[in-house]
Structure 1
Amino acid sequence: MNDVLATTVREEWGRLTALLLARFRRLDLVEDALGDAVEAAARTWPVDGVPDKPAAWLHTAASRRIIDRLRTEATAQRVEPLLLVESDRREGGRVMADPGALVEDDLLRLVLMCTHPSLAPEAASALALRLVLGVPTADIARLFLVPEPTMAARITRAKKKIVGAGIPFGVPDASVLPDRLDSVAQTAYLAFTAGYAPGTGADLLRSDVSAQAIGLVRVVLGLRPSEPVLVALLALMLFQHSRRDARVRDGQLVLLPDQDRTLWHHDEIAEAQRLLDTDGLRGPITVQAAAYTLQARVAAEHALATTPDDTQWERIVSLYDALLDFAPTPSARLARSVALAEARGPAAGLAALEGIEIPSTHRVAAVRAELLARNGDLDAARAAFDQAIAACRNDVERAHLEAQRDGLS
C-alpha cells in the first residue's frame, strides 16, 4: 500500500497541484492540503484498503481541507466568497488564474508560474522541481550543488514570494513566453536529470519523472516550433531516455558497455538524431542551446555505436572540450575525465580528475576509485570506494559500489 501511495504521489503530484490551484488559486493552501491528504492516506489506506482511484481520493481529500480552511478564513474575516475569480480583487496570499488562452497544459502553466521573471532563475527552477514534479529537496540540492538546508530555505522563500506577490497561475499572452524559455528549458533539463539519476532512494532511475520532463519540452516546442534550445534539449533527453530499460537488470545497475542494446528504444534514438540534424542547430544559437547540443552529440556517439568497442572516445573528448568552453561546470569536467580515461588510459583520466570537487555527491570519488583500480593502485582504490559508498544515498548505486570494492583483487 505504501508503494501505491508513493507511486501515486510521484506520478500525480504535479497534476493534482495544477487542478487544485486552477480551482482555488491559493498556492499556500494547495500545498498544505495535499500534504495533509497524503498523510491521511498513509494512515487510512492500510486499514480501509487502497481506493480504486488513488489520485482521485487524494484530490477529494485535499479539496475538502482547502474548503474547510477557506470557510474558517471567511468566518474570521467576515467575507462571503470562498473562491476568487479573475475579476475579484487580488489580496495578499492569493494566486490568480488567467483565462487559459495561451496554454492549456496544466503542467506547463505551473512551470510558467514558477519561472516568473520576479523569481531568480535558480529559485524558479528549484521551486518548479519541488512543486510541480515532486522531486525531493535532497535531490534538488544535489542538482544545484548546495546543501539540503540551503535549498529548502531557497524553495520556501520562492513560495512566499509567489503567494505574497500574487504571481498568476499561467501567463497573459504569448509575448512573455520567449522571456521564460531558458528557465523552462533549464527546469525540464534538471527534472529529467532527477529522473535519470536520482541522488536518493531505492530506484536507480525514475522513468516517469524523466518522461514528464520530455512531455513538458514537447508541449513548449509545440508553442515555439524549431526553437533551438528546445530542439537540442529534446534530442538530448531522447538519446538518454532511450536506454532506460537496459540500465537495470534484476534490480542491479548495468553499466553502458554491458547493456543489452536490443532493449534500447531505437525509435527514440532515430527521432533524437533527426532533431540533432535540423538546420536550426547549425547556425548561431544561444550558449544554453549550444551546451544542450554538445551534450546531445555526446549521447549520440554512445547511442549510434553498434558495440562498445565502436565508441569514438577521442571524438567524445573533443565534444567535452567544446562543451567546457560554453559550460565549464564540474560535472562536465568529470564526464570529460571519464572519456579521457577510455581514450588514453586511466592515468590520463586520473590526471584530469585533479581539482574537481562536487559537494554532496559520490560521483567524483566513484570515478577516482574505478580509475585507480584500473591503474593497479588497489589500496587507494579501496579508500576511494569507501569514500564514495559513504557519500552515496542511492541504494542501487551504493550496492554497485560495494560490489566493485569487494571485487578488487
Structure 2
Amino acid sequence: MDDVERAFREAHGQAVATLTRIFGDIALAEDAVQDAFVTAVQRWPRDGVPDNPAGWIVTTARNRAVDAVRRGRRGRELAEQVASDHRRRQESTVRSEDAELMRDDQLRLVFTCCHPAIRIEHQVALTLRLIAGLTPAEVASAFLVSEETMAKRLVRAKYKIKSAHIPYRVPDEAELPDRLRAVLSVLYLIYNAGADDIRNRRNLCTEAIRLARVLVELMPDEPEAVGLLALMLLNEARMPARGRGDDVVLLQFQDRSLWNRSLIAKGHELVLVCLRSRRPGPFQLQAAIQGIHCAAPHYRDTDWPTIVRFYDRLLTVMPTPVIALNRAVALAEIQGPVTGLAMLDEIADQLAEYHLLHASRGSMLERLGRRNEAADAYALAAELARTQPEIQFLRRRSEALEREV
C-alpha cells in the first residue's frame, strides 16, 4: 500500500494538471484522479505498480472523466472529442512529448492556483492539494485547522477559479513578475510548513523541492526561481543535524558531518548561477546567506561580516521585521549581544507574537548574564512556539536558567 500511495502521490499533480487542460474543470479533474486512485489501490497491489504510473493514472482518470461529462449537457460531444484524442495516444504509456506537455500543465496549474484573485491561504492550500497530492486531512494538518474547515476552503478556492473564469495558463510576459512572486512565495511557505515540523510534515519539504525543480526546469532564466531552489536545497542539506530525537539542535551545536555535502554543492552552484544575473531578489539573497553558513567548517568560522552585508542588501528589497531580526542576530556575532539586543528591542512591538523574537532576546540576555530576564524571554517564546520540539526546547532553557538563579 505504501508503494501505491507513493507512486500515486508522485503522479497526482501531473494527472490533475493534464485533465484540467483537457476538460477545463479543476474539480472534475481532481474527482476523476481520486477515482483512479481507488482503482489503483485495488489493482496495483495485485498486479504491481505500472512502469509509468502517471500514464496509467491519466488514462484511467480520463475514462472516469469522460463517463462523468457524458451525463452533462455537452457531455456527448466532449466525450467523443476526448475519446478520439484518446485513441490517437498509447493508453499504457506517455510518450516523451506527452511527458513534456504534462510538466507544462503542472506549471499552468501552479499559476492558476496562485492567481491574485484567490486569497493567499487558499493559494497554498489548493497547491498542496492539487499539485502535491496531499489529502484534505494532510493539508488541514499543515494549516493547523480541522479537515472540515480545510475542505470548505478548497471548495471555495476551486469555485473562485470557475466563477471568475481564471485562465488555465502561464501568465504572459507583462503579468509574469507579479504572478511568479506569488508562486515562489507559496512554494517557500509549503517548504517551511514541513521544515518547521520535521517529525510530522517532512513530505511537504520534499514536495516543495520537487515543484521548485519543475519551475526551474521550465523557467531557467528566472533568477528568483533558481534562488528559491538553492535556498531550499541549502536548508535541506542541514536538516539531518537540526534535530536529535524530539530535541532541537541550534546551528552552533550541530554536527556538521551530518550535513548533506552533495546538496550543499548543488546549492552553491545555483547561488552562483542566479547571482550572475545581477538581478538580486529576496530568495537569491537568502540563498546566498545560507550558502555562507553551509561553507563554514565550524560555527566559529562563519563569515558574519559578509552575512550582515547580504542582510543589508536583503533589507533594501524585503524590508520586513523578520529580516531585521535575522540581521540583528548576525550583527550580535560581530559586535556583541548589547548591540543585538538594542536592535531587537527596536522591532519588538512588530514581532510581539513571534516566538523567535523572544527566543533571540533570551539568547542575548543569557550571554549578558541577565538570567532572570532570559528565563522569562524563553518562557514567553515557548508559549508562542508552534511545534512540540520547539516548545520543549524553549521550556528547558527557561527552567535551566531559573534553577541557576
**Equivalent residue in structure 2 for 1:392, among 360, 385, 395:** 385
How far off its partner does 1:346 sit? 2.2
2:312 aligns with one of 318, 321, 328: 321
1:344 lines up with 2:335 in the alignment:
yes
Q: Which amino acid aligns with 2:243?
A: V
Deviation at 1:13, TM superposition (A): 6.7
Deviation sequence 1:188-244 (CA, Å, 0-9, x none): 22222222224xx953x62x3223222222222222223211222222222111112
Aligned equivalent of 2:237, options 232, 238, 242: 242
Match in the other structure for 1:255: 250
Deviation at 1:325, TM superposition (A): 1.1
**Structure 1 residues 240-278: Cα deviation after superposition (integer angstroms, max 9, x where no partner):** 111122212223222112222122111221122222223
- 329 and 10 in structure 1: CA distance in 2 versus 1, 3 angstrom threshold: farther
SS of equivalent residue, structure 2 residue 281: helix
Deviations 1:333-387 (A, max 9, x none): 1211221222222222221112243475422222222222222222222222222
1:280-332 deviation digits (Å, cap 9, x = unpaired): 524541xxx42222211211111000111101223222221221111011221
Q: Which moved more, 1:130-139 or 1:355-364?
A: 130-139
Q: Which amino acid aligns with 2:383?
A: A
| 8 Å Cα contact 2:314/2:323 also seen in 1 | yes
Greater RCO, CA 8 A, separation 6+: 1
Partners of 2:275 and 2:112 in 1: CA distance:
29
Corresponding position of 1:93 = none
Checking the alignment, whether the CA contact within 8 Å between 1:202 and 1:395 is kept in structure 2 is no
Amino acid at match of 1:316: I
- Structural RMSD (CA): 4.7
Structure 1 Cα separation of the partners of residues 182 and 330 of structure 2:
29
- Mapping of 1:110-149 within 5 angstroms? 110-116=109-115, 119=118, 124-125=123-124, 127-129=126-128, 131-133=130-132, 134=134, 136=139
Q: Describe the shift of the 1:367–1:227 C-alpha distance in structure 2 as closer, same or farther (beyond 3 A).
A: same
Structure 1 segment 2-401 matched on structure 2, within 5 A: 14=13, 18=17, 26-28=25-27, 70=68, 74=71, 103-105=101-103, 107-116=106-115, 119=118, 124-125=123-124, 127-129=126-128, 131-133=130-132, 134=134, 136=139, 157-171=156-170, 180-198=179-197, 202-203=199-200, 206=202, 208-278=203-273, 281-285=275-279, 289-354=280-345, 355-356=347-348, 357-358=350-351, 361-401=354-394
Name the one with the larger helix percent.
Answer: 2
Contact 2:139–2:150 (Cα < 8 Å) also in 1: no
Specify whether residues 337 and 34 from structure 1 end up closer, same or farther in structure 2 by C-alpha distance, changes over 3 A only.
farther
Q: CA deviation at 1:81?
A: 7.4
Stretches of structure 1 that go unaligned for 5 or more consecutive residues are 88-98, 143-149
Q: 1:394: Cα distance to partner?
A: 0.7
Kindly provide the CA deviation profile for residues 46-102 of structure 1, in whole angstroms up to 9, marking residues without a partner as x: xx9xx7899x9xx89x97xx87x959x948x79767969689xxxxxxxxxxx9797
**C-alpha distance in 2, partners of 1:80/1:136?**
35
SS of equivalent residue, structure 1 residue 296: helix
Q: Which string of whole-angstrom CA distances, capped at 9 and with x for unpartnered residues, describes residues 117-170 of structure 1?
A: 65477764564245534474675699xxxxxxx999987654321022343555
**2:82 and 2:139 mapped to 1: Cα distance?**
33
- Summarize the Cα distance change of 1:384–1:12 in structure 2 as closer, same or farther, 3 Å threshold: farther
Would you say the 8 A contact 1:123–1:155 is kept in 2?
Answer: yes
Amino acid paired to 1:301: I
Q: Deviations over 1:11-32 (max 9, x none)?
A: 7875675577568654346668
Counterparts in 2 of 1:10 and 1:351: CA distance versus 1, 3 Å: farther
CA separation of 1:16/1:254 partners in 2, compared to 1, >3 Å: closer, same or farther?
A: farther
For 2:170 and 2:81, how far apart are their aligned partners in 1?
Answer: 16
Q: Distance in 1 between matches of 2:184 and 2:29?
A: 25
Shift of 1:107: 4.1
3-state DSSP class of the match of 1:242? helix
Equivalent-residue separation in structure 1 for 2:299 and 2:126 (angstroms) = 39
Whether the 8 Å CA contact 2:18–2:106 is kept in 1: the answer is no
Contact 1:74 1:81 in 2 (8 A): no
Flag the 1:252–1:22 CA change in 2: closer, same or farther, 3 A.
farther
